[in-house]
Amino acid sequence: MSKQNPRKQTAAKQATAKQTAAKQAAAKQATAQQATAKQPTGGKNPGTRPGTGSAGAGGGRIPAPAAAPAAPAPEADGAAAKEFSRRRLLGAVGAAGAAGLVVGGAGGAAGVSAAQDDAPKALSTLGSTKVPFRPAHAGHQAGITTPLQAKGHLVAFDLAPGSDRKAAAGLLRRWSRTAEELMAGRAPDADTGVALDAGPSSLTVTFGFGHSFFSRTGLTKRRPLELDPLPDFSADALDPKSSNGDLWIQIGADDALVAFHALRALQKDAAGRARLRWQMNGFNRTPGATAHPMTTRNLMGQIDGTNNPKPSDQDFDERIFVGRDADQAWMHGGSYAVVRRIRMLLDDWEKRSRHDQERVIGRRKDNGAPLTGGSEGTPMRLDANGPDGMPVIPANAHARIAAPESNQGAAMLRRPFSYHDGFREDGAPDAGLLFICWQADPLRAFTQVQRKLDRGDALSPFLRHEASGLFAVPPAAEPGDYVGRPLLEG
């Protein structure tokens, strides 16, 4: 028998190898489909670790995207989302593509085929949540009563030399247009593409005017009395360059790239019209990081925000928002924001025992309950004494001195971010709180409480107030208008 041509032998072997590979790929694909069909509907994935499912609104870890397209995600105010934005569409395509890369690496051609056939994955609730720029049933801007977001930027601008009222109006008009687009999950003109694959992620942009804005625009007669500068306090060590400003913007989002994207877009919009005065970056715990919704903690480890006024309180609007009797009608429905950069002396604080820390605050560290007992929401019994005859909640405890009962009912809505800007030369962390509080009248709220804290608060030795600002935050823009138009064109 004659020997077979070597080239023919090689070709035969290659053909056999290809047939074998194709059969193996088909078998793997069939096995994967059978496993998927056997998985219980609505049940837990056997490969999922305990606790990774959803635990209700704001609680638990973020669930994995569903295999089928989800219904439009709800807006933050409860209204159904009316559009599937370009960002959401791109995000869905990106999710499907990522799945293809993983499966393709394990199963070759079968993985690629599955990725192409699968339906696009919807964004998670965290990414798809929208906060409306123009609230339907609230006259105030977003970012005041909005739940705390994971990432925040505070930035102040001064109008450029030579800028006047008309230039300021043009800037606010442009800023408002950009903010509305971004909060809706749409990309503005000349977009950088930083957040193309993300949803709006509860983005809010809030605008305010500083005391100096009115003199620079010839509007001193329309400056509210409530915007008079804050008094000096004994704990102040304020840096003038990092305080105040003509214009103030608060940005919040549950995604860091979305927040930065908004910051960058607004900063670019200001070119030639206003120049940066200062910027501060903050953070909070990511929604879903705890087993159930909780009040946030600050960098001292204390629950921060207990006893905050609630929108359900009968006098909430009266305390937080400017009423119709305001001396400046353009502020009706607005609020005043006090901003303080408060550095925490964490090295000193962390040397104290937990017992001492709780007596400084007046509340338990683990659950925020008052030292007089109960849970976080239990009212403090300020008249309760211990067996030694001394107050259970010490006379100089922070919670006692700051309580409305100790300040003739004065209250403010606290909505802070934590910050960490590296380490100082002595090795101590440059970290603390970007304190932001909202009220209808700063003199009757923040100033009244801070004056009392200034006279004998047990927490004050562990804090340094290093920057400050007070801003008039007008109501939300009407349809077709921009924020501040009644002031600038009224």
Instruction: Please give the structure tokens belonging to residue 398.
Output: 């922070």
What is the rounded CA–CA span in Å between residue 182 and residue 257?
12
Closest CA to 129 of 67, 80, 95, 181: 80
Ramachandran region, residue 305 (left: φ > 0; alpha: ψ -120 to 50; beta: rest): left
* DSSP label at residue 55: -
- 472, 442 Cβ separation under 8 angstroms: no
Other beta carbons within 10 angstroms of residue 50's beta carbon come to 6
Closest CA to 247 of 211, 215, 296, 221: 211
- 363, 382 Cβ separation under 8 angstroms: no
What is the rounded CA–CA span in Å between residue 285 and residue 314?
29
C-alpha distance from residue 382 to each of 93, 390, 452, 456 (Å):
57, 11, 16, 17
Give the catalytic positions in this structure: 304
3-state secondary structure of 19: helix
